[in-house]
């Protein structure tokens, strides 16, 4: 599949890094002694939890807003920006927009936890709750764009968003050039697609493994079907991986199809165990979506012996209520 299909080239990835430098943290890549012993491998944790917003989404949002200003001038965003999000992208857009003095309206479904809503509002953005799915929230976004002249900052399906997330892949290749495999949560595909595009361009033999929820895995079901399909969303500990990919998907479907080598789905119990494991053994408070790499290795008995493996610890937007649910599933 040609790179022109999705527009995420190595040159665009480096341009993205130049735009976000100084506004986004170069997140640490730290070895996990406990996991390395357990799996007889070199296990590295890419801590996107260290971003100012607590998640990787700040990379893509910052890159896109900066690129729009670069190309069209700041006045192009005078009427504000908008998006629909399961939480982390909304927080990232609100954060980036506030820095630039741009109004932001974030549309969220009723499935989004209240702690994520409060965080977005604290950044000065307007939050609108619409429908019971991300797709329904996007209907309000479309109205704001069409009727009020706002600018859409999509959560994943745009080359600028994917390139921003893909700067993680550039950092991984610089900090661990010997890397054999990376485990990435898979939802809309901007994160996995961007990381995969960067790593495959530099080290084609790197294995890119996607991990989805056991229910509502829109991208995986779409890849199986050969085209974007709609799936029913379900409440999950890994709520950040919920949502559809859009039936008119123009970037991330093709990108993931090109760069992902294999894929696993994980159960709620496996996510819960991984969340508790990360807290107890790594002293990291992470959301379910950030723990799915570990969940996949444990639940599916993936053999990574002798390999250098990176787990993308994508965000820390977890409420105490959700953590309690995870602990209850685990039995402690």
pLDDT of residue 2: 38
Compute the average pLDDT of residues 284-293: 96
pLDDT of residue 264: 98
Q: Is the pLDDT of residue 307 over 90?
A: yes
| Average pLDDT along the chain | 93
pTM: 0.92
* Cα radius of gyration rounded to whole Å, the chain: 18
Distance, CA of 325 to CA of 243 (rounded, Å): 21
End-to-end Cα separation, the chain, in angstroms:
47
Q: Taking a C-beta distance cutoff of 8 angstroms, is the pair 185, 191 a contact?
A: yes
pLDDT of residue 266: 97
Domain boundaries, the chain: 3-55+158-330, 57-152
**Among residues of the chain, what percentage have pLDDT more than 70?**
98
Beta bridge partners of 265: 212
pLDDT of residue 235: 85
pLDDT of residue 5: 63
Low-confidence winner among 8-12, 121-125, 199-203, 279-283 (lowest mean pLDDT)? 121-125
Tens-place pLDDT, residues 194-238: 999 999 999 999 999 999 999 889 999 999 999 999 998 888 999
Compute the average pLDDT of residues 146-175: 96
Q: Is the pLDDT of residue 297 over 90?
A: yes
pLDDT of residue 150: 95
CA distances for 235 relative to 58, 182, 216, 240, angstroms: 24, 26, 9, 10
The count of other CB atoms within 10 Å of the CB of residue 122 is: 10
Tens-place pLDDT, residues 244-275: 888 999 999 999 999 999 999 999 999 999 99
Instruction: Give the residue numbers marked as catalytic.
Output: 57, 314
- Judge if 3-55+158-330 and 57-152 fold alike in CATH terms: yes
* Residue 323 structure tokens: 């953590």
The count of other CB atoms within 10 Å of the CB of residue 72 is: 11
CATH for the 3-55+158-330 domain, from 3.40.50.300, 3.40.50.1100, 3.40.50.850, 3.40.50.150: 3.40.50.1100
CATH for the 57-152 domain, from 3.40.50.300, 3.20.20.70, 1.20.810.10, 3.40.50.1100: 3.40.50.1100
At residue 44's C-alpha, the angle toward residues 43 and 46, to 5°, is 150
């Amino acid at each position: 599949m040609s790179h022109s299909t999705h527009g995420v080239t190595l040159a665009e990835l480096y341009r993205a890094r130049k735009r976000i430098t100084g506004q986004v943290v170069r997140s640490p890549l730290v070895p996990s002694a406990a996991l390395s012993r357990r799996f007889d491998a070199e296990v590295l944790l890419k801590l996107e939890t260290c971003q100012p917003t607590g998640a990787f989404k700040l990379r893509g949002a910052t890159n896109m807003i900066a690129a729009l200003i670069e190309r069209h001038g700041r006045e192009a965003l005078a009427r504000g920006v908008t998006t629909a999000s399961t939480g982390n992208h909304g927080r990232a857009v609100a954060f980036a927009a506030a820095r630039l003095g741009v109004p932001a309206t974030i549309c969220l479904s009723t499935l989004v936890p209240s702690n994520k809503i409060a965080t977005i509002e604290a950044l000065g953005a307007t939050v609108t709750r619409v429908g019971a799915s991300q797709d329904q929230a996007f209907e309000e976004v479309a109205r704001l764009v069409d009727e009020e002249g706002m600018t859409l900052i999509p959560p994943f399906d745009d080359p600028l968003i994917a390139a921003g997330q893909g700067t993680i892949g550039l950092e991984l290749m610089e900090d661990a050039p010997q890397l054999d495999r990376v485990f990435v949560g898979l939802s809309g595909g901007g994160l996995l697609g961007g990381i995969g595009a960067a790593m495959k361009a530099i080290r084609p033999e790197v294995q890119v493994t996607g991990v989805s929820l056991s229910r509502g895995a829109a991208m995986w079901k779409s890849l199986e079907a050969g085209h974007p399909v709609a799936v029913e969303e379900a409440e999950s500990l890994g709520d950040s991986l919920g949502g559809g990919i859009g039936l008119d998907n123009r970037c991330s479907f093709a990108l993931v199809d090109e760069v992902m080598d294999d894929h696993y789905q994980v159960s709620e119990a496996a996510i819960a165990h991984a969340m508790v494991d990360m807290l107890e053994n790594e002293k990291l408070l992470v959301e379910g979506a950030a723990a799915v790499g570990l969940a996949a290795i444990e639940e599916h008995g993936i053999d990574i012996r002798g390999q250098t493996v990176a787990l993308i610890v994508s965000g820390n937007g977890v409420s105490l209520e959700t953590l309690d649910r995870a602990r209850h599933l685990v039995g402690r």
